[in-house]
Chains A and B, each alone.
Chain A
Amino acid sequence: MSGHSLLFTFFALATCLSAVAVVISQTVVRMAFWLIISLGSTAALFFLADADFVGAAQLLIYVGGTLVLLVFGVMLTASGPYLKIETSPGETIIAGMIGLLFLFIVYASISGVDWKSTPGDAVATDSPLDNRSGADGQTLRPVGLSLLGLRPDKDLSGGGDGDQPSTGYLLPFEIVSVHLLVVLIGAAYLARAKRTQQASAS
C-alpha cells in the first residue's frame, strides 16, 4: 500500500465517518464539530487530488468562514445551554433506510460505468494536469489565469480549437463577485435588529 493510498484511506474514512456522526449527533454544536472534521478531511482529499488551491479555499472559506458563521448562529439562536431538538425515532429510521437505499443506487450506478471503454476516452491515463500547466498539484497559476479569461491548459496544449482560444471563466467570476456583493447587502438587511416588530410580536 503506497503512502498516497494510505493517506487517502485515512482521510476518506475521516470524511465519511464524521459525516455520519453529523447525522447521528443530537446537539447542534456537536454537529458543527463533526462537520468541521468532515470538511477539513475533505480539504485534505483535495490536496491529495493535486487541487491545492481548491483545498486551501475549502479551509479558508468553508471551515474558517462559513462554519464559524454557523456556530455563531447556533450561539445566537440557542435558548438553553445545550439546545436539543429531537427527531422522532420513526422518522430517523425511515430516513436512514431511504438514505441507505439511495446510497446503494448511487453505488450501483457508479460501479455500472465502464470507465475504460467509455467513448471519447473519458478517463485520462495520467492526470491531465500533470506535465502541462500545474505539475505536482501547483494549480494556483492555471486556476488564476482561467478566472481571468485565459486557459493555459487548453490553449497551449493544442487541445482546444487552434484559431479560437477558449474564453475561460471571466464572466462567471464577475457574476459571482456581483452576487457576493448582493448577498452581503441582503444578509445585512435581513439580519438587522428589528426591535419595534419584536416588541409588537411579543
Chain B
Amino acid sequence: MLLAAQSIAEFIDSTDAWPLTWLNGYGIVVAAVIHALLLIHIFAISPFAFIWLERKVSGRIQDRLGPTRVGGLFGWLQSLADGIKLIQKEDLCPPAADSMLFRSAPYIVCVSSFAAFMVLPFSHTWVAVAADCGLFILLAILSLEVFGIIMAGYSSGSKWSLFGGMREAAQMVSYEIPLALCALIPVISAGSLNLGEIGGMQRGWLSNWFMFHDPFTFIAFFVYFVVATASCKRAPFDLAEAESELVGGFHTEYSGMRWSFFFMGEYASMFAVCGVAAVLFLGGWNSGIGPLDDLLYSWRASSLSGEGSWAAGYLANVLGAVIFASKASFGVFVQVWLRWTLPRLRIDQVMTTCLKYLVPISCFLFLGATVWPLALQLRTGRTTWTAPVGDRLSSSVVELRAERDKSDVAAVPSPQAAEPEDLKPETPEAPAEAVPSHAPESAAVEPESGRDSSGSVNAASSEVLAGATKKEVQQ
C-alpha cells in the first residue's frame, strides 16, 4: 500500500544488499506480507479510534463528559481498557447453539470487513490491489459480512438471535440494491470502476468533486450515505440488534472477544463505506483546493517519473492519505451523530423506507445521471460543466494505459482500426481534434447506460481512456 506492490516486489527481487539477497525471487510474497500487515494495522486502529469517538460524541450529545480517566485528558485509551476487559471475559457457548457455526460466525464478519480494505485506495497508488473493477469487488466483499451475522443469529439457538438474524438478512438483501445503484451514479460520470482512477479524476477545485458534478450525483451522495448507514446496521437502522425489542439481537449470546469481533467488523465497515463515499463523491485524497492539489500532483508526478525527489512524492501521498482519512472519519462522525439524534425505526418502516422510497429514488437518480450529459450537450454543446473528467486522469495512469494500448496496437495490422471508439459509427473520425471530439463521444455512449449499467460503463471508460491516449500520442 505504501508503495505499489509491484515496486516493492521489484525492489526486493533486484536488490543486492546482503540482508535481502536471500529474498530474491520471493518479492511478491514479501510485498503481500507487508501490505497485509499495514492493512491489519489500519483495520485494528480504526475501530480503536471510532469506539472512543462514539463514546465521546454520545456523551457530549447527552450532556455527559464521556470517558475521561484512562490515558490522560480525553480518555483516549478507553478503547484499550475496554479491549483488555473483553479479553479477560469467559468465552461462552450456549448449550442450545450449533457450536461450530456459533464459533466461526464472528470471524466471517471480521474477515469480510477486513478484506474490503484490500481495494480501498488511501492515496494516489496507495492501494493493496489496484483492480480495474475495484468498486465492484469492494461492494461484493462488503456484502459477505451479512452472512456472518445471519449465521450468528441462527446458530445461537435463541429466539432473540434468530429474529435479529432474520431482520438483518431481509434488511441487507433489500438495501444492497440502492447501495449499488447509488455507487454506480458517480461511476457513470467517471467512466471507470477503478477507485484509484475515480479518485484521481477529482483533482482541482471543489467543483471537480463528483458530488458537485451534476444535481443527480449531489442527491445521490445523501442517498448513498443513508443507505450506507443502514448497510452497516447503524442506528436508526439497527433493527438486528435493537436492545429494546430483541435484548441484543444477533449477538445476544456472545461474550468476550467473539462479541468484540462483531464490533470491530462493524466499525471497520463504517470506515470502509465512508471511505468509498469519500472516494466516489468527496474527492478522495484531493483537498478540493486547486493550487494545493496541483502542487501535490506535481510532486507525485515528478517523483514517479524519477525527476523529482522521492521524498516529495511520498510526502504528497502522506498528505493525501491524511486528507482521505479525515474525510472518511468525518463520515463516521456523522453516523455517530445520527445514532444519537434519530429514534430507531420499526422493522416495517425500515423495509418501507428502502423498497418504497430509496429504491425508486436511486433508480430515478441513475436514469437522470445517464440522461444529464445528453441534455447538457443539447443545451450547451458539452457534456460536463468543466473540462471532461478523463482529462484529469493522472499522468501515470495514462502512461500505463498507453503502454498497454501500444502493445494492443502492435498486434494489429492497421493501427487506426485499433482504437476501440472507431467501431462506433457515431464517432467522428477526427484524430487531429481529439480533445473537442471527446464530448460528443461520451454523449453518444451514455444514453445507453440506462439499460445495461456495467457494460456501458466499460464502454464509456474505454472512450475516456482512448481519448486520453490520443492526446498522449499527439504530444
Contacts and interface: CB of A to CB of B under 8 A. Distances in A.
Q: A and B: partners?
A: yes
A55 to B, nearest CB: 8
- Place the interface of chain A in its size category: 35 or more
B226 interface: no
B146 A68 contact: yes
Contact of B136 (A60, A65, A131): A60
A120 B80 CA distance: 65
B63 interface: no
A57 B133 CA distance: 10
A30 B154 contact: no
Contacts, number: 145
Given A27-B98, A140-B458, A157-B411, A145 B452 contact: no
Interface stretch (A11-19, A86-94, A104-112, A146-154): A146-154
Interface string B158-170: 0000100110011
B455 A138 contact: no
A8 interface: no
Interface string B92-117: 00001010110010001000000000
Interface in A133-167: 133, 135, 138-141, 143-145, 147-148, 150, 152, 155-158, 165
Interface string B408-438: 1001110001101001000000000000000
Given A29-B101, A148-B459, A177 B140 contact: no
Contacts of B154: 29, 71, 74-75
Contacts of A65: 143, 173, 176
Contacts of A129: none
A56 B137 contact: yes
B28 interface: yes
Residue of A55, A145, A155, A177 with most chain B CB atoms under a 10 A cut-off: A145
Nearest to B454: A144
Interface in A41-71: 52-53, 55-57, 59-60, 63-65, 67-69, 71
Given A52-B131, A131-B407, A140-B133, A158 B413 contact: yes
A56 to B, nearest CB: 4
A173 B140 contact: no
B146 A64 contact: yes
B193 interface: yes
Consensus secondary structure, chain A interface: helix
A187 B231 CA distance: 25
A60 B98 CA distance: 27
A12 B411 CA distance: 35
B147 A63 contact: yes
Contact of B458 (A3, A72, A145): A145
A152 B420 contact: yes
A33 B408 contact: no
A71 B101 contact: no
Contact of B140 (A27, A59, A133, A143): A59
Contact of A30 (B28, B100, B170): B100
B116 to A, nearest CB: 11
Contacts of B423: 150, 155, 165
Interface in B128-157: 131-133, 136-137, 139-141, 143-144, 146-147, 150-151, 154-155, 157
Interface string B19-50: 00000001011000000000000000000000
A36 B139 CA distance: 17
A143 B458 contact: yes
A109 to B, nearest CB: 34
Contacts of A40: 144
B354 interface: no
B457 interface: yes
B229 interface: no
A81 B151 contact: no
Contacts of A30: 98, 100-101
Contacts of A69: 173
Interface in A113-145: 131-133, 135, 138-141, 143-145
Interface of B: 26, 28-29, 96, 98, 100-101, 104, 108, 131-133, 136-137, 139-141, 143-144, 146-147, 150-151, 154-155, 157, 162, 165-166, 169-170, 172-173, 176, 193, 404, 407-408, 411-413, 417-418, 420, 423, 448, 451-452, 454-459, 461-462
18 contacts: A29-B154, A30-B98, A57-B136, A60-B136, A60-B143, A63-B144, A64-B146, A81-B157, A131-B411, A132-B408, A135-B407, A140-B132, A147-B454, A148-B452, A148-B459, A152-B408, A155-B423, A174-B451
Given A72-B170, A156-B411, 13 more contacts: A30-B100, A30-B101, A33-B101, A56-B140, A59-B141, A60-B136, A68-B173, A75-B166, A133-B408, A150-B420, A150-B459, A156-B418, A165-B423
